Amino acid sequence: MSTIHVISVSGGKDSLATLLIAMERCPAGSVVAIFCDTGNEHEQTYAYLDYLEQALGITIIRLKADFSRQLLVKRMFIARDVRTGRDKAGRRLRWSNKAKRRALSVMHPSGNPFLDLCMWKGRFPSRKAQFCTEELKRNMAVGYQLDLMEAGHRVISWQGVRRDESHNRRNAKKFERVGGGLRICRPIVEWTAAQVFAYSAARGLQPNPLHLQGMGRVGCMPCINCNKAELRQIATRFPQHLERIAEWEVLVSMCSKRGGSTFMADAHPGKDRRQVFADLNIWSRIEWSKTTRGGKQFNLLDATEHDGAGGCSSSYGLCEQAELESA
């Protein structure tokens, strides 16, 4: 039984350092890099994966979820829905004819995993219901590893997780035995972000350019959890991605039984859904990102030419490093 080391590459700094460690420690030919494409990625991340393949002489296997079957089943369910009951809030369970027509007119596979997932669910994910990670990343990576195990391999899943990243990860273990021939290895669990960057730089690897453009993390563009400063950066540097999100908000809302869903906000029970959509759609969130103190006041500092999203503002102070290197 051979051992395969699977590294899930995101295009960010942590998974790159993890990949490099695995390549240095494991026998040649036993390391497999995978990338779970959410369909909500920045084009610079795709280009960066190509760069890594070339620089490291490897192939990064692209995995992409497909929700065609789920969308077909949901379409049939909506079309045939004749339920008579009501939910706990007293609303009719059955899709109204108007909502049926609206949803069925757009609920077709687009080929984009993120959009298709949201159309299938009739909503965007949220902090409390973060089904995007599960459906677009975790399930794809786990499915790939299960296939390897079924083919008779022992699998070690290498994860680029650091304890100082977030509260949730503060107790992450360095090694775990999951069972069934699967183990987990988190070699950089005790590292800082600076150590991670230094490790890759020492091996001659460039970071994803997004890290140099104010993006603390590389992942979806944007992520449903992106903070105010990141959203402001994205609005300034990559407005086309927010225009795409605005188009998705319209499509996903059409697939929602209640007729509304926004990218960066949970449901607000009791509030009129049209008002919620107007207050919390992506354009409103962008305006909010330009404010300070809970959104009531515009940030005057950012309006000056000396500061703000237009300048180099990497969260990790990499701008200086990049400038020195190119000098």
| Cα 211 from Cα 51, distance rounded (Å) | 15
- Indicate whether 38 belongs to the interface with ligand SF4 (CB under 6 A): yes
The SS3 of residue 92 is strand
CB of 193 to ligand SF4, least distance (A): 17
- Indicate whether 78 belongs to the interface with ligand SF4 (CB under 6 A): no
CB of 151 to ligand SF4, least distance (A): 28
Continuous segment of H or E residues that includes residue 123: none
Can you read off the two tokens belonging to residue 8? 């899930």
- Indicate whether 130 belongs to the interface with ligand SF4 (CB under 6 A): yes
Phi, psi dihedral angles at 176 (to 5 degrees): -145, 140
Whether residue 61 contacts residue 141, with contact meaning beta carbons closer than 8 Å, is answered with no
Q: Residue 5 or 13: which CB sits closer to ligand SF4?
A: 13
Whether residue 169 contacts residue 163, with contact meaning beta carbons closer than 8 Å, is answered with yes
Q: Pick from 209, 208, 234: which is nearest to 222 by CA?
A: 234
- Indicate whether 133 belongs to the interface with ligand SF4 (CB under 6 A): yes
Select the span of 124-132, 203-211, 288-296, 302-310 touching ligand SF4 (CB under 6 A): 124-132
- Indicate whether 262 belongs to the interface with ligand SF4 (CB under 6 A): no
CB of 27 to ligand SF4, least distance (A): 32
Per the DSSP assignment, residues forming a β-bridge with 176 are: 184
CB of 124 to ligand SF4, least distance (A): 9
- Indicate whether 115 belongs to the interface with ligand SF4 (CB under 6 A): no
Whether residue 214 contacts residue 233, with contact meaning beta carbons closer than 8 Å, is answered with yes
Select the span of 92-100, 104-112, 130-138, 163-171 touching ligand SF4 (CB under 6 A): 130-138
Q: Residue 2 or 166: which CB sits closer to ligand SF4?
A: 166
Binding string to ligand SF4 for residues 217 to 236, with x set by CB under 6 A, is what? Answer: --xx--xxx-----------
Q: Residue 11 or 260: which CB sits closer to ligand SF4?
A: 11
Per-residue H/E/C for 146-211: HHHHHCCCEEEEECCCCHHHCHHHCCCCCEEEEECCEEEECCCCCCCHHHHHHHHHHCCCCCCHHH
Residue with token string 């049926």: 100
CB of 223 to ligand SF4, least distance (A): 3
Select the span of 26-34, 127-135, 186-194, 262-270 touching ligand SF4 (CB under 6 A): 127-135
- Interface contacts to ligand SF4, rule CB under 6 A: 38, 40, 125, 130, 132-133, 136-137, 219-220, 223-225
